[in-house]
Amino acid sequence: MTGQVVIAGLGPGAGDMITPQVAQAVEQATDVVGYIPYVRRIAPRHGLTLHESDNRVELDRARHALEMALQGKRVVVVSSGDPGVFAMASAVFEALEAGPPEWLDLDIQVLPGITAMLAAAAAAGAPLGHDFCAINLSDNLKPWALIEKRLRLAVEGDFAMGFYNPRSKSRPEGFARVLDVMTETCEPERIILFARAVSTPEQVLRVVRLADARPEMADMRTVVLVGSSLTRLIERPGAPIVYTPRSAPV
């Protein structure tokens, strides 16, 4: 029997944001592997084994998936959002490259998903309507100096920015440092969107200016979108619209 590894994105949280392609892969799987809260989004059924693991064992999780596929199982490795954006696709390929040669013959597919960054942008309007970049603010796998360098270069290039993993209980100071850097380098009117639990019933969108942004406005369920210098705010009854124009001045 030929095994398979499908690396799939479950989207930002809402069930109707899981693509039909991903839903079909999960329906056909014999095993689902992933971080505990993501695996618990999968409904148990006969013939499906769910393998939950902690957040910092990505390579172990990837090796486990590849080993099961070698045994002929149809394995789905789940991530939230898109599996190629700060998620499990890179971990699987890192394990594959360092693993035994027989893993290279496996059928491995990556199925895209809707990222929290894109879901948050859609909920607010179009803040990523021009050039933008995404930065993972966790320093678990890279030094803070590199995060700050990339942040400063993104500000210099006047990109809109999406920040993932902004502020955890174990490293609450990181996002405060990000705001300090931005205060040094950006105008105080720069628009910032804090999108928490986007697409779920707990969704909260908060639009503020940089001068009013505070570290405690973000946590690990929050994606933070920072506008470029051109990003606009349209005030109206109810929630405002945030967008970045399609063109930039010469």
SS3 218: coil
| Full residue range of the structural domain in which residue 176 is found | 117-243
Q: What CATH number is given to the structural domain containing 65? A: 3.40.1010.10
Q: Tell me, yes or no, whether 104 and 197 share the same domain.
A: no
Q: Tell me, yes or no, whether 122 and 99 share the same domain.
A: no
Average pLDDT over residues 207-217: 96
Report yes or no on 248 lying in a domain. no
Report yes or no on 110 lying in a domain. yes
Average pLDDT over residues 16-27: 96
**Closest Cα partner for 73 from 112, 41, 33, 116?**
33
Q: Tell me, yes or no, whether 63 and 130 share the same domain.
A: no
The residue from 114, 144, 163 where one domain ends is 114
Q: Tell me, yes or no, whether 107 and 186 share the same domain.
A: no
Q: Tell me, yes or no, whether 142 and 235 share the same domain.
A: yes
Q: Say whether pTM exceeds 0.95.
A: no
Q: Tell me, yes or no, whether 139 and 37 share the same domain.
A: no
- pLDDT class of 231 with cuts at 50, 70, 90: very high
Q: Report percent pLDDT > 70 for the chain.
A: 100
Q: Is the pLDDT of residue 95 over 80?
A: yes
Q: Tell me, yes or no, whether 140 and 35 share the same domain.
A: no
Mean pLDDT rounded to a whole number for the chain: 94
Q: Tell me, yes or no, whether 102 and 123 share the same domain.
A: no
Q: What CATH number is given to the structural domain containing 197? A: 3.30.950.10
Beta-carbon-side half-sphere exposure of residue 32 (alpha carbons within 13 Å): 29
Report yes or no on 36 lying in a domain. yes
Report yes or no on 249 lying in a domain. no
Q: Tell me, yes or no, whether 71 and 126 share the same domain.
A: no
Q: Tell me, yes or no, whether 124 and 66 share the same domain.
A: no
- pLDDT class of 250 with cuts at 50, 70, 90: confident
Q: Tell me, yes or no, whether 126 and 223 share the same domain.
A: yes
207-240 burial: b if 16+ Cβ within 10 Å, else e: beebeebebebbbebbbbbbbbebbbbeeeeeeb
Six-digit token pair at 183? 């205060």
| Total tally of structural domains belonging to the chain | 2
Average pLDDT over residues 228-232: 97
Which amino acid appears at position 210 of this protein?
A: L
144-183 burial: b if 16+ Cβ within 10 Å, else e: eeebbeebeebbeeebbbbbbbbbeeebeebbebbbeebe
Predicted local confidence at residue 171, as pLDDT: 76
pLDDT digits (tens, 9 = 90+) for 73-92: 999 999 999 999 999 999 99
State which H helix or E strand residue 160 sits in.
strand 160-164
Q: Tell me, yes or no, whether 22 and 86 share the same domain.
A: yes
Report yes or no on 250 lying in a domain. no
Cβ atoms of residues 108 and 62 within 8 Å: no
The residue from 69, 97, 114 where one domain ends is 114
pLDDT digits (tens, 9 = 90+) for 113-123: 999 999 999 99
The residue from 56, 80, 114 where one domain ends is 114
pLDDT digits (tens, 9 = 90+) for 188-199: 999 999 999 999
Report yes or no on 106 lying in a domain. yes
- pLDDT class of 238 with cuts at 50, 70, 90: confident
